Structure 1
């Protein structure tokens, strides 16, 4: 077997990733540079609140000054990792393809864990609308979701509906579902887009709970990802990206265990973004669940 280094192993990450990482490409991404200094592992996303125009009573009359408000949304990063010790016996007698037997498992586990930070937020939201178990009312439900987002003043562009495979089956049966121009999109998102309908781009994600769909504007969720820095004590370190998820791998020999150690990790976190106008919460998303049979 060839000599292994983190650089050589990490270079295979994109090729070996199994589950498509879809959801992060459809939401607002917090710049990694924001997680620095005194912020530590938490960043506050500032969501501006809409203002209201006033009318001057008469020429020269005193006008009223208003505050410009922002709603804070905290995003906390978690350190996600997959670590594996490979004994001399495994390395000598059992491994025939290190990349596929070890690296693929580690990269997929960490990349999926990073997306799951966002999926967990989406799956934990209360349902607003109910899809019939047969999907017969899917068109009406989409129109209701569109209306609710419009009433919440969500911009017309960058609207998505992320659907579980079960709901994707209902959506694909819609007569007016149209193809979209996927040129320039990240590969995973390009492959996951199943069509465009009523102003929404539909993407399928296996990270969502069975029977769930979430309609949202891109600004409805904030997702953050930071690639860990290279540790000074590691024998070999490399970084790469797999479907937009930054990954670091360290590789070194543990003499106390006569084993090679390989660790793949990343920092990731997500939060839902909710406006708060006049004390009433206005979400930038609508959650739909399929009725139980």
Structure 2
């Protein structure tokens, strides 16, 4: 009789595919690949923000000298500070008599648990951020609220492509009842979970529902507003079976270890992760009602501002 062994690489590849298909909120974050963490100092990866500069001008034939300007790149640090995991123990009897499909019965629920944990981390970052601009959600006129948020993003020079309106269940109901949503055809590269959570488009936003957001909260964001990093922990030298993998900005580890005393196998799915808010250095010009990025990041009056997203909700202090 020929026995085909269970290959750790196949299991962990299945796991990463399950993770990619289950994510919703992490899919609208700026994900940083595993390779960026090589020799990362203090468990931190640095994301570079391109330098901002403006053109100079001179009157022709004036004899005025042409002066040079310096480029000053900025950075956003993302620290890996969270270990998300799910462990389950399987007895010899269960492995022999009960478990007929390891991927469906064991791995899938474990990956789903870790995915929900990753989603919770992202939601906590979204709801805990300090936004430069806020909009009160008008249930009588939801389109007005969306247009207000769009206006604030436009005034901050946020790119029009890659915008998402992430909504809680209560605001989702309000949008569906208002019939202002257009059909959205997500591209083939989007995860199944994200496609299912996308309920339409409105004024340049893909509208995505997340049931973990509070009922009366929505966030209009660009896909660079929040950063997410994941890393697969190393496989211990004493682990008899295990593998790691990373793809599309996500990383995952799977281990199976035998426990002598309990005569059972432990299956562990886990990852390290960290999130951050991506701020921009500059100031808000009250006269023009525009965000002005800083050319000199150390100049007086310049500060880090979170302008790549707008908070919408009931009871928030609305921006003037």
Please state which band the TM-score falls in when normalised by the shorter chain: 0.7 to 0.9
Deviations 1:27-67 (A, max 9, x none): 32212211111435211112224322221245442233222
Q: 1:118 to 1:261 in 2, by over 3 A?
A: same
Q: What's 1:182 paired with?
A: 186
Is 2:260 aligned against 1:252? no
Deviations 1:144-179 (A, max 9, x none): 100000000001111111111221111223333111
Secondary structure of the structure 2 residue equivalent to 1:155: coil
Q: What's 1:205 paired with?
A: 210
Q: 1:156 to 1:15 in 2, by over 3 A?
A: closer
How many pairs were matched up?
289
Residue ranges of structure 2 left out of the alignment (5+ in a row): 283-293, 295-301
- 1:1-293 aligned at under 5 Å gives the runs 6=8, 9-10=11-12, 13=15, 20-39=22-41, 41-59=43-61, 60-77=63-80, 78-88=82-92, 91=95, 99-100=103-104, 102-126=106-130, 128-132=134-138, 135-184=139-188, 185-239=190-244, 245-277=250-282, 278=294, 279-280=302-303, 281-291=305-315
Contact 2:246/2:252 (8 A) holds in 1: yes
Moved more, 72-81 or 233-242: 233-242
TM normalised by structure 1 equals 0.84
Secondary structure of the structure 1 residue equivalent to 2:233: coil
Q: RMSD over aligned Cα, in angstroms?
A: 3.1
Separation in structure 1 between the aligned mates of residue 94 and residue 314 of structure 2, nearest angstrom:
47
Separation in structure 2 between the aligned mates of residue 89 and residue 209 of structure 1, nearest angstrom:
43
- CA drift at 1:4: 6.2
- CA drift at 1:93: 7.5
